[in-house]
Amino acid sequence: MNVFSLALTNVRALRRRLFGLVALVSVAAAVCLGALGIADRAQGAADADVKESSANRSITVDRPDGRPGTPQLTQGTAARLAKLPHVESVQHRAQVSFGVLTEAGDTVLLYATTHRPALTPPVTKSVRKNLFPLRPGEIVAPAASQGVDLTSLVGQEIDIETTRYVRQGEGTGVSGHARLVGVYDPTWQLDNPDAAYAADATVITWAAERSGEPKGSYLSTIGYDQLTVVARSAADVPAVMKSVQDLGYPAITLQQQLDALPAVLEMIRVVGQVLLGVLGVLAFVGAVTVTGALSRQRAQEIGVLKAVGFRTRSVLTMLVTEMALVGALAALIGTVLGAALGGGAAALLRGNADLAPYVRGWVLLPSPGTLLLLLGLTVLVVAMGSLAPARRAASMSPTDAMKDW
């Protein structure tokens, strides 16, 4: 019988004594893998919501509020940014709220938004194949908003209500009509959870009426609320962002926005990373304790093995292999428990509208590469923890080992 077979036989015989170590490591691994799995899937979902080509080249420029010396995001500003080196295009966004009146008597508050080609929403139902650019009077809304399903209204004329400026702090409602030509996946929330895309002329008209500014001068005075500067290549993004920021505008790359997860998911990620360290400590300390205790209890067994010709190295290999097998078993059990724990936690998180878009799938585990690395490290740490007490036990002489130690 070789050393590995002997170690496997010993693990089976000692399974009751090893139960505590297996339970400790597997539970710690399950919590760690569950947390890391949720965080990994959440980040993956955020990255997948935008095409990589656009995300890598897009820079979002916001209004320079609180910066008196910096011009607003007017047409002139957009033209100036378009002339910066390495800039491919500048795409604008304007938003203004309006109400949609449903047949059930509900009013859904949406935000009319100009469409940016770099950030086209994922349309799920439409009246024609190519919706954009939209025609005046057409709207593309989220499939569901504020608990109201808008999918059934696609292709229909809908009643809307906008606001017209009367005086400072006062406005009056204006009734109108629009045609809902499409709906998009409501998990797309880069422009606003309740953004409804409309033709530029429509959005600017409604925004000018709401502000009390003449339509003809709105873009040269009040301007847009956000601009998207698209660099020619991903490599040009840092230089373009610096040029924009040097002009006094707050700017952030779209990829940086995608890297930012909601606070709850970010906390789960941090907890997973902390638990990874805790798992290592628990596995190491547990292996040291269990191996030392078993070596003392099995002193006579070790003495017999050495008496019949087993060398110190063979005994050491046997003891360390036993703990490595225990670590592998605990890691596998922890993986199963981690998948179940991650799935249960994800089901709870999906009940929150803000978190649901980030939590997709039922078996939430880290990527295969990360998972194999974590499992391998668990086995390695358990084996390393057993090394010192195993070496001490294996180095005993047969005479000493046969005594009560």
Domain end position, chosen among 199, 223, 258: 258
Query: At which residue do the structure tokens 């953004």 appear?
Result: 195
Domain end position, chosen among 207, 236, 258: 258
**pLDDT for res 324:** 85
Residues 376, 247 share a domain: no
Residues 158, 18 share a domain: no
Residues 240, 91 share a domain: yes
**pLDDT for res 19:** 78
Residues 163, 23 share a domain: no
Residues 145, 11 share a domain: no
**pLDDT for res 258:** 53
**pLDDT for res 51:** 43
**pLDDT for res 277:** 72
Residues 280, 159 share a domain: no
Residues 359, 247 share a domain: no
pLDDT, tens digit, 9 for 90 and up, residues 140-174 = 999 998 888 899 999 999 999 999 999 888 889 99
pLDDT, tens digit, 9 for 90 and up, residues 49-58 = 444 456 568 8
**Residue 396: domain span:** 3-48+261-402
pLDDT-flagged residues of the chain (< 50): 47-52, 260-261, 264, 354, 404-405
**pLDDT for res 301:** 73
Residues 277, 148 share a domain: no
